[in-house]
Structure 1
Amino acid sequence: MKKVLLLLLGIFVHQVIQAQTLHALFVADTKDPLLSTACQRDLEVMHRQCTQIASALRVRLNEQTLSGDALNRSNLNRLIDSLKVEPQDVIFFYYSGHGYNESKRNDAFPLLYLHKEAAERSQNPSLKALHTALKTKKARLCISFGDCCNNLSNNTRGMVGGKPLIRGLTLTNDSLNAAYRKLFGEASGDVLIASSQPPQTSCAHADSGSYYTRAFDEALELASRYNRSISWQALLKDTQGRLNQHVATRDRKSIYEIHLLGQPPAVVTDPKPDFQRINQYLNALTDVERPQAERYALLTQVKEYFTKKARIDIYVNTTLGEVQPIEQVIQRLYLNAGKIQRINLIERLSTVSADGIHYERAAIQEIW
């Protein structure tokens, strides 16, 4: 009797799994003069991955692609609105094309460059807004992934000459399926991924596709080789590591947000320097009301805000003076305490390093 019940339970579970659907929504700028071939390669990679995911989970694959002349905001809205989702389904949204950001936005995730005419740019959706719209479908798991630039202008995406190194894959189907089931079959919640953080660009190669997509593809295929208990955070960290192995993308940093049931949120997003905090730090060095020992101790904190080799343009009132290394600058501020009335970091003339946290070139104004 017990064996019969277990058999019936197994049949029931199998039927439930079979009733689930993986909704794969692919959006790619395959008509763009620069990116067309790379975007087509990206679509091929994601089609293969989603086919493997659906097979591993034993679920139906509902794949829809928006590309070419059909690529616009209206068609994208219709695609999302028409999506019929059941509670145990999975949504996987993927975009490959141009992207950008704007200085007045508080959102670190990019705008998708669907409309390139100046009069129509207001129609360009943000990746995060699309992710929010997809989450309203109430799938068990919602993943949104954008491989595009995130720089503070509408410059074209970087194309590089060397192909990324794609290692051979030697996993068995069983080990690969185990990783897919862990990431897509057992997780509940949402994951939002962008290939670059502001103000960075992303890179692609015409023959091999986008570098971050390829790194994600490789990390996903190799997910269970080193870690049977693979997680989304571990997967995206591995993707970042693989991205940084290439010369063309050595300094590129992705961003993501992970919100899964039963797990603490994992957020890597917009780690730009804290402008106000740096201003306070610089002014503390010249504050004679602070004990000298306290100001001296502040000298060691410079590494929290600037790279070791940072260069600083010094404006005295409104006149540009010397360009000095950061260590010399903070010694200058410390020694001139009482003479300098205020320090202002000139953010618009400063450059953030590749890690998105420190300044590698900065401008400051000394008010005497």
Structure 2
Amino acid sequence: MIMKLQKNVFLLILCLALVNIPLRAQTFHAILFGDTNDESIGNTVKLDIERISCMLAEAQAALQNKISFEYDVNVANRCSPQNLRNVLNRLQCGKDDVVFLYYSGHGARSLHDTSKYPQMSLGAHYENELISAEGTFNIIKRKCPRLCIMITDCCNSYSENLSPKLELSKSAPCINREVETNYEDLFMKKSGAMIITSSKAGETSACNFKIGGFLTYGYLTVMTEANKQNISDWNNILEVTRDATVELSGNKQHPVFDVFVSDTVVSQTSVSTNESVVDESTDTMVIHGADVSANTQNQVLEGLRQLIDTNIAAPQRIAMVTPILNKYFSNANAIVEMLGRNCKTIVARETARNFLERLSTEYYLINFNVLSFTQDNNGKITSLRINEVYKK
């Protein structure tokens, strides 16, 4: 690389929440959409979402004293064109906010499209339901966040039907001072907007069951190297991400991107609208009512967050273990698995009681990302898969 640089249907919960975060003006809006229901690519999309969420958990841990994180994760049936409209409609940006929008799924374009960026299917099956990636990008920019980042890992090919991605059939993250500093440089000391999609007009986008979407894998690999080497130039990062994707695909897909970012932090004037129309060559996108229910599953995990809250005295946290176990888990022997950064390698496995007892006494564990869990008929957790983020 150039740079020195499961309920039988899929259930994914992204629970990226740090405790100890006071209210503040700056917010990092993490918006994730993934078509995990799709029969052909659903499993690879799931992997993409898990890995992106792992990166965000790491960023959140690194920036915990500087910006609060809010998540809107839309997978399975929640991944839909209307839900994207709802999410954008309710998005309110402060002048120092960051918006990070990620989509993995099907994409396409029609012969009359003039944008170099694709149309996102978001689980839809007809051309008139597709959503313009560039139009979405422009809507977010008009919300005037300080920094806007949009990543789409989907096809950009001409087709009467939706073009599928081609099926081409490891340790917990640790935050040290260098990683913390580089995340700060990337997200706190930059202003502007950037967008990247996984293939140019006319191309399909590849994925496989080992690494997921090629663009997503390339981006996350490059981000890891950038943090190791203190590289905070977004243009450089996206250039190398493009090159990595070209290499991974055997020169069959060529990402396109635009970067409009400066090192000067410029406060934006926030604009609140209920309707947005994209400009110039992009499609029109009207935002209607925002009627999206909260992700109620996140409430199940509130107790877990309390256990890593170092503002609560250790004896009090230890005393919370049994009540939390009885409230949320089916029994003390429910299985909890810790996965590595690649979201595939199981690095540790323990019972629910041992897991909760460990959380209550942890000092170096600063964040965790819940990848998936299963429940019994009473709604109690029977198995849980997580990533953990530690400080060095």
Which band: TM-score by shorter chain? Answer: 0.5 to 0.7
Gaps of 5+ in 2: 1-20, 265-392
Contact kept in structure 2, 1:141 and 1:184, CA below 8 Å? yes
Q: Please give the secondary structure, in 2, of the residue aligned with 1:131.
A: helix
Residue among 133, 137, 141 paired with 1:135: 141
Q: Deviations over 1:72-91 (max 9, x none)?
A: 22211111111232211100
Contact kept in structure 1, 2:81 and 2:131, CA below 8 Å? yes
Show the counterpart of 1:336. Answer: none
Structure 1 residues 214, 17: closer, same or farther in 2, change over 3 A? Answer: farther
- The aligned runs of 1:266-305 (5 Å cut-off) are none
Instruction: Say if 2:61 is the partner of 1:55.
Output: yes
Structure 1 residues 18, 54: closer, same or farther in 2, change over 3 A? Answer: farther
- The whole-number CA distance in structure 1 between the counterparts of 2:27 and 2:35 is 26
Q: Deviations over 1:117-136 (max 9, x none)?
A: 44xx2121111101111112
Instruction: Say if 2:222 is the partner of 1:251.
Output: no
Structure 1 residues 170, 237: closer, same or farther in 2, change over 3 A? Answer: farther
Show the counterpart of 1:184. Answer: 187
- The whole-number CA distance in structure 2 between the counterparts of 1:148 and 1:238 is 19
Show the counterpart of 2:198. Answer: 195
- The whole-number CA distance in structure 2 between the counterparts of 1:83 and 1:116 is 22
Residue 173 of structure 1: how far off its partner (Å): 2.2
Instruction: Say if 2:83 is the partner of 1:80.
Output: no
Residue among 90, 102, 106 paired with 1:94: 102
Instruction: Say if 2:248 is the partner of 1:240.
Output: no
State the TM-score, normalizing by the size of structure 1: 0.60
Residue 205 of structure 1: how far off its partner (Å): 1.2
Contact kept in structure 1, 2:29 and 2:97, CA below 8 Å? yes
- The whole-number CA distance in structure 2 between the counterparts of 1:70 and 1:34 is 18
Q: Please give the secondary structure, in 2, of the residue aligned with 1:189.
A: strand
1:63 partner amino acid: Y
Higher helix residue share: 1
Show the counterpart of 2:226. Answer: 223
Q: Deviations over 1:246-294 (max 9, x none)?
A: 3x4433211111112468xxxxxxxxxxxxxxxxxxxxxxxxxxxxxxx
Structure 1 residues 219, 157: closer, same or farther in 2, change over 3 A? Answer: same
**Count of aligned pairs between the two proteins:** 240
Residue 115 of structure 1: how far off its partner (Å): 5.3
Structure 1 residues 225, 124: closer, same or farther in 2, change over 3 A? Answer: same
Residue among 26, 38, 47 paired with 2:44: 38
State the TM-score, normalizing by the size of structure 2: 0.57
Structure 1 residues 115, 221: closer, same or farther in 2, change over 3 A? Answer: closer
Contact kept in structure 2, 1:22 and 1:92, CA below 8 Å? yes
- The whole-number CA distance in structure 1 between the counterparts of 2:133 and 2:109 is 11
Residue 178 of structure 1: how far off its partner (Å): 2.3
- The whole-number CA distance in structure 1 between the counterparts of 2:226 and 2:111 is 36
- The whole-number CA distance in structure 1 between the counterparts of 2:173 and 2:131 is 39
Gaps of 5+ in 1: 1-14, 264-368
Structure 1 residues 169, 66: closer, same or farther in 2, change over 3 A? Answer: closer
Query: Percent identity, aligned pairs only?
Result: 23
Q: Deviations over 1:136-195 (max 9, x none)?
A: 22111011110001111132111112xxxx8x8998622222221121111101111101
- The aligned runs of 1:114-133 (5 Å cut-off) are 114=122, 116-118=124-126, 121-133=127-139
- The whole-number CA distance in structure 1 between the counterparts of 2:155 and 2:87 is 23
- The whole-number CA distance in structure 2 between the counterparts of 1:172 and 1:82 is 32
Q: Please give the secondary structure, in 2, of the residue aligned with 1:245.
A: helix
Instruction: Say if 2:37 is the partner of 1:26.
Output: no
Contact kept in structure 1, 2:197 and 2:256, CA below 8 Å? yes
1:71 partner amino acid: C
Q: Point out the structure with max Rg over C-alpha.
A: 1
- The whole-number CA distance in structure 1 between the counterparts of 2:244 and 2:29 is 27
- The whole-number CA distance in structure 2 between the counterparts of 1:169 and 1:175 is 17
- The whole-number CA distance in structure 2 between the counterparts of 1:261 and 1:109 is 23
Q: Moved runs in structure 1, 4+ residues, more than 4 A?
A: 15-18, 168-172
Structure 1 residues 250, 230: closer, same or farther in 2, change over 3 A? Answer: same
2:104 partner amino acid: S
Structure number with higher relative contact order (C-alpha < 8 Å, ≥ 6 residues apart): 2
